[in-house]
């Protein structure tokens, strides 16, 4: 199975999920790719096997706001054990209560996945077994999950790069736009940037305006925040 993934043969989420469930004792899978924003999370891609009803409950009850797995997996690097997350964040009980209501297990693990340009992704794996069983199973197969997740994610990213680069094309900053943003992030004023780059102050403003438009923000401050978050400008 891992060979199939490595050769890029599996870019269809449904196919990958089926393969995973057939190969391992997995109940459900969820793949999420998102962009972190100041006040929310912009979901770029979402595939899962939990079904429409579970998804509806998750959304209508606002469970995504308390989901500790999202916070931990999208912010970190280490695999996130569901039960560990549950114990560390008591306020997320409604989430697990809801899961139990509709007959979903609370055992599982979420694997953070690397993404370029500040995006984050995760593959969550839900199993239907006792805690003891899961502990052993996890020890044996976490490495398989991790590699499979990485390869699948790589396939998804490559596929996205192939088919729809519209996001990347829109958001791509030109050389000058990157430069003025970088200097602005360094605390320079328009006049200073103009002097540094040897161009007129008006031109600096022109580049900054274009950068703001491309980043879809309303102020230089917000533009710089976005640029730093998405690694569009170098860190000093």
Partner DNA sequence: GACGAAACTGTCGGTAGTGACAGTTCCGGA
Partner DNA sequence: TCCGGAACTGTCACTACCGACAGTTTCGTC
The residues binding a second copy (CB under 8 A) are: 2-3, 6, 35-42, 71, 74-79, 112-120, 139, 142-144, 146-147, 150-151, 153-154, 157-158, 175, 178, 182-187, 189, 217-222, 224-225, 228-231, 234-236
Can you tell me the distance from the alpha carbon of 209 to that of 214, in angstroms, rounded to the nearest whole number? 9
190 binds, among a second copy, DNA, none (CB under 5 to 8 A by kind): DNA
**Residue from the set 197, 225, 229, 230 that interacts with DNA by CB under 7 A:** 197
Contact 150, 115 (CB under 8 A): no
Q: Is 225 a binder of DNA (CB under 7 A)? A: no
Of 34-42, 72-80, 110-118, 199-207, the segment contacting DNA by CB under 7 A is 199-207
Least Å from the CB of residue 194 to DNA: 7
Burial class (CB in 10 A: 0-12, 13-18, 19+), 131: exposed
User: How many residues contact DNA, by CB under 7 A?
Assistant: 25
Q: Does residue 1 interact with DNA by CB under 7 A?
A: no
Which one of DNA, a second copy, none is in contact with 139 (Cβ closer than 5 to 8 A by kind)?
a second copy
| 10, 153 Cβ separation under 8 angstroms | no
Q: Quick one: what does residue 147 bind among DNA, a second copy, none, with the CB cut-off 5 to 8 Å set by partner type?
A: a second copy
Among DNA, a second copy, none, residue 230 binds (CB under 5-8 Å by kind): a second copy
User: Residue 28 or 153: which CB sits closer to a second copy?
Assistant: 153
The least distance separating a second copy from the CB of residue 76, rounded to whole angstroms, comes to 7
Q: Please give the distance of CA 220 from its chain centroid, rounded to a whole number.
A: 25
Per the CB < 8 A criterion, the answer to whether 11 and 155 are in contact is yes
User: 3-state class of 111 per DSSP?
Assistant: strand
Closest to a second copy by CB, 104 vs 233, is 233
Residue 183: Cβ-neighbour burial (10 angstroms; 0-12, 13-18, 19+): buried
Cβ-contact 55, 48 below 8 angstroms: yes
110 DSSP β-pair partners: 80, 124
Residue 104: C-alpha distances to residues 2, 25, 203, 216 (Å): 27, 14, 58, 39
Using left for φ > 0, alpha for ψ between -120 and 50, and beta otherwise, residue 118 falls in left
Considering the rule CB under 7 A, would residue 175 count as an interface residue with DNA? Answer: yes
Residue 226 interacts with DNA (CB under 7 A)? no
Q: With binding defined as CB under 7 A, does residue 129 bind DNA? A: no
Q: How far is the CB of 215 from DNA (least distance, A)?
A: 11
């Amino acid at each position: 199975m891992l060979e199939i993934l490595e050769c890029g043969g599996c870019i269809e989420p449904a196919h990958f999920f089926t393969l995973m469930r057939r190969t391992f004792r997995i109940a459900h899978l969820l793949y999420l790719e998102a962009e972190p924003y100041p006040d929310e999370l912009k979901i770029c891609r979402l595939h899962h096997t939990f079904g429409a009803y579970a998804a509806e409950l998750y959304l209508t009850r606002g469970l995504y706001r308390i989901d500790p797995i999202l916070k931990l997996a999208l912010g970190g690097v280490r695999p996130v054990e569901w039960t560990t997350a549950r114990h560390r964040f008591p306020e997320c009980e409604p989430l697990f209560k809801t899961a139990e209501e509709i007959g979903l297990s609370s055992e599982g693990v979420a694997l953070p996945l690397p993404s370029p340009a500040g995006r984050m992704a995760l593959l969550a794996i839900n199993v239907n077994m006792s805690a003891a069983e899961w502990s052993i199973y996890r020890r044996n197969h976490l490495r398989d999950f991790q590699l499979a997740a990485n390869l699948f994610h790589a396939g998804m990213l490559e596929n996205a790069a192939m088919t729809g680069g519209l996001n990347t094309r829109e958001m791509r900053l030109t050389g000058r736009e990157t430069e003025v943003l970088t200097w602005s992030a360094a605390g320079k004023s328009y006049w200073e940037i103009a002097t540094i780059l040897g161009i007129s102050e008006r031109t600096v403003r022109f580049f900054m305006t274009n950068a703001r438009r491309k980043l879809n923000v309303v102020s230089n401050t917000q533009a710089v925040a976005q640029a730093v978050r998405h690694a569009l400008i170098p860190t000093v």
